[in-house]
Structure 1
Amino acid sequence: MLDMPRKLPLNVTKEKNRHGTWVFYYRVDKGPRTRLHGEPDSDQFKAEYKAAVSGAPIEKRRQTGPVQSLRWLVDRYMESAGWKNLSVATRKQRSNLFKKAIENSGDADFRDITQADMRGAVDDRADTPAQANCLLKAMRGLFEWALKNNHVDIDPTVGVETISYKSDGFAAWTVADIRLFCAKWKIGTKPRLALELLMCSGLRRSDVVHAGRQHMSGNLFSMRTAKTGTEITVEFTDRLIKVINATETGDLHFLISSHGKPFTVESFGNWFRDCCREADIEKSAHGIRKFAATMAANGGASSHEIMAQFGWASVRQAEVYTKKADRKRLGVSGSRVAAEQTEKELSPHLISSAGKIGNNKAKSKAK
């Protein structure tokens, strides 16, 4: 870039991207911008500038050098420190997404993937917006790493937007659900222990399958969560301790299968869902975590208290519950204030009016 001409061609501007690299655009007045690749004195730049001036479409840039497949790039990414810093759950989710993307791409050169390709991949999954956004997030992580390590010149995910949608996710359990489950699964059964553990600890299923007596100190339970790496500390109630002591457990795992073996995350989810169906409940383990957070908020726990219990890395998720609880409490309180003030303002007039009406009726009868 040192020999870059001092004066750029007509209608060409330059700017630094967030990675500190100069990029060039062709734009007439306030019209659309066209990205020009290469340096101003390169053949590629000149060809694209000529096409932009004439209004002709710019041909898709082909890479020079040996073809490198998306599989090759993903393999290199998975060897990086950035990949290893991701949580186990995130790595597993992204591995599955990359596997599907590799199958779809075949042996195409990853350097030929464009913003339009990424936008198309997101649009193709518009019916499942959560999956579309997860794919975009995974590819964004991949190409941000690739750009920093000089595997690509452009990050094709830049400017591609996620799909906006509203979803409450897993359905939260209700008090009625808890009672129904307890009626089916008595103290001493493994499903009942799973329920009580999830309610008291608020653990995700990825953590509850690893929970055991080694995490206990008296009635205090401490554990580092798999998803965020945050250490949580909660107090087990006497009720939960009673349920644990009354149930068959493993040496290092509270929850074990009918074969006496610890559950995997997937096998626990499937097993517990079956237990729920036997109790006529069409919900999952994650809904109990929502129930526990709701109970904490309704009981007056602060956002930071809930954040600490449930292992969230930011206060935003905790505020989902505390704000709902606060709105409910404030709504009730506000309605009482409004009713009292209404009564105070209107009662004298209503009484006075009632007296006048009564007097008028009496006078009418007297006549």
Structure 2
Amino acid sequence: MTRPRPPYLMRERTRHGKVVWYVRKGDGPRIRIPGEYGSGEFTEAYHAAISGQSPASKKAQSDTLEWLITRYRETSAWLTLAAATRRQRENIFKHVIDKSGHERFADITRSHMVAGRERRASTPAQARNFLDAMRGVFRWALDAGMIEVDPTAGVKNIARVKGEGFEVWTEDEVAQYEQRWPIGTKERVWLDVILYTGLRRGDAVRIGKQHVRDGVASIKTEKSRYTIEVTIPILSTLQATLDAGPTGDLAFICGDKGQPLTKESFGNVFREACRKAGVQKSAHGVRKIGATRAANAGATVAELEALFGWQGGAMASLYTRSADRRRLAKGAINKLDRGTN
């Protein structure tokens, strides 16, 4: 499968037939990226450009943390990460380089990693992402023989708060959203694609007509690194929404001008549509109510895993156990009622 192009990178061919590369963020200036695509020079210039530096700026010394991170970005360990993970870690690296990029990477210790985690402790997800990003760098450096001790070894992530995660939508909230965004609006397409396919955002924004054959959609999931394929019959309710549109050429979910959306931008616009409908929840909560509906209708663990792309039984069992408890409770209350007569 073709590897996704890094964000903000544009390819052009000159009138002389030469391929040139540029970085352009929004309406900002176009910055020419020198060197052959994928080379060390090219990669370093690209990362300098998206960080707001000039590609011609002074190169980092070969013993600094900035240099080490730049070299890491050229490796298979980095390039095989999901595009969304790379974007997330780029933002982390930018802050790390701004603060400590000049430090010698050989002098980075476990206490530095702990301190970095603790500075982000008020936002546990950021603390975990910071450690995950730096683990990637230093584990690669250890394997490459650049360091003798991995400073992230033994540093624990901040524990996740036990709970239900993204809050599941209620049936009333689904009805409330549907009333605000009727069939024929792009916002209704957004909801119904997630609700009636069970796809995560990263897959929901990719699925389109090209994935559907004889009324059944098949798509390999982003979370599995495109190794697990889910097969989803297109229900008549969803088909009616898609027929009314609007949809894009390559993806059912689209923006104002029919353009495809990244999962990040979709998350933002979907959240805004929810707020306008008076719903204070997320796209992932829609996926949860889909799983709840299926389980309550009697779907088995195997059936839920086939639809939602889960593995191992644990996630699917959460929904089937809840549904089973509900059915058992109904049976028990009927027995209680007979026992009181």
**Contact 2:109/2:151, CA 8 A, preserved across alignment:** yes
After superposition, the CA RMSD in angstroms is 2.4
Give the match's secondary structure for 1:325.
Answer: helix
Question: What corresponds to 1:277 in structure 2?
Answer: 275
Kindly provide the amino acid, as one letter, of the partner of residue 274 in structure 1.
E
Give the match's secondary structure for 1:233.
Answer: strand
Q: How does 1:71-110 map to 2 (within 5 A)?
A: 71-110=66-105
* 1:159 maps onto 2:154 in alignment: yes
The separation in 2 between residues aligned to 1:158 and 1:335, in whole angstroms, is 53
The separation in 2 between residues aligned to 1:154 and 1:336, in whole angstroms, is 64
The separation in 1 between residues aligned to 2:313 and 2:73, in whole angstroms, is 30
Q: Identify which of 129, 137, 144 aligns with 2:132.
A: 137
Q: Identify which of 198, 210, 216 aligns with 1:214.
A: 210
Give the match's secondary structure for 2:154.
Answer: coil
- Gap change, CA 1:106 and 1:144, over 3 Å in 2: closer
- Gap change, CA 1:138 and 1:259, over 3 Å in 2: same
Q: Identify which of 306, 310, 317 aligns with 1:308.
A: 306
* 1:124 maps onto 2:113 in alignment: no
**CA shift digits 1:16-53 (9 cap, x unpaired):** xxxxxxxxxxxxxxxxxxxxxxxxxxxxxxxxxxxxxx
Kindly provide the amino acid, as one letter, of the partner of residue 245 in structure 2.
T
Give the match's secondary structure for 1:223.
Answer: strand
Question: What corresponds to 1:183 in structure 2?
Answer: 179
Count of residue pairs brought into register by the alignment = 278
**Contact 1:225/1:232, CA 8 A, preserved across alignment:** yes
**Contact 2:248/2:260, CA 8 A, preserved across alignment:** yes
* 1:256 maps onto 2:261 in alignment: no
Question: What corresponds to 1:224 in structure 2?
Answer: 220
Kindly provide the amino acid, as one letter, of the partner of residue 179 in structure 1.
A
Kindly provide the amino acid, as one letter, of the partner of residue 140 in structure 1.
R
Q: Alignment identity in percent? A: 43
Question: What corresponds to 1:36 in structure 2?
Answer: none
Once the 2 structures are TM-superposed, how far is the Cα of residue 98 of structure 1 from its aligned partner? 2.0
Task: Provide TM-score, normalisation by structure 1.
Answer: 0.69
- Gap change, CA 1:307 and 1:91, over 3 Å in 2: farther
The separation in 2 between residues aligned to 1:216 and 1:147, in whole angstroms, is 46
* 1:198 maps onto 2:194 in alignment: yes
Give the match's secondary structure for 1:192.
Answer: helix
**Contact 1:89/1:226, CA 8 A, preserved across alignment:** no
Q: Unaligned stretches of 5+ in structure 2?
A: 1-60
Q: Unaligned stretches of 5+ in structure 1?
A: 1-65, 348-367
**Contact 1:88/1:226, CA 8 A, preserved across alignment:** no
Give the match's secondary structure for 1:287.
Answer: helix
Once the 2 structures are TM-superposed, how far is the Cα of residue 334 of structure 1 from its aligned partner? 5.7
Kindly provide the amino acid, as one letter, of the partner of residue 204 in structure 1.
R
- Gap change, CA 1:135 and 1:314, over 3 Å in 2: farther
Once the 2 structures are TM-superposed, how far is the Cα of residue 300 of structure 1 from its aligned partner? 2.4
The separation in 1 between residues aligned to 2:111 and 2:266, in whole angstroms, is 41
Give the match's secondary structure for 2:148.
Answer: coil
Larger Rg: 1
The separation in 2 between residues aligned to 1:258 and 1:285, in whole angstroms, is 19
* 1:233 maps onto 2:231 in alignment: yes
Once the 2 structures are TM-superposed, how far is the Cα of residue 199 of structure 1 from its aligned partner? 0.4
Once the 2 structures are TM-superposed, how far is the Cα of residue 137 of structure 1 from its aligned partner? 1.9
The separation in 1 between residues aligned to 2:329 and 2:154, in whole angstroms, is 41
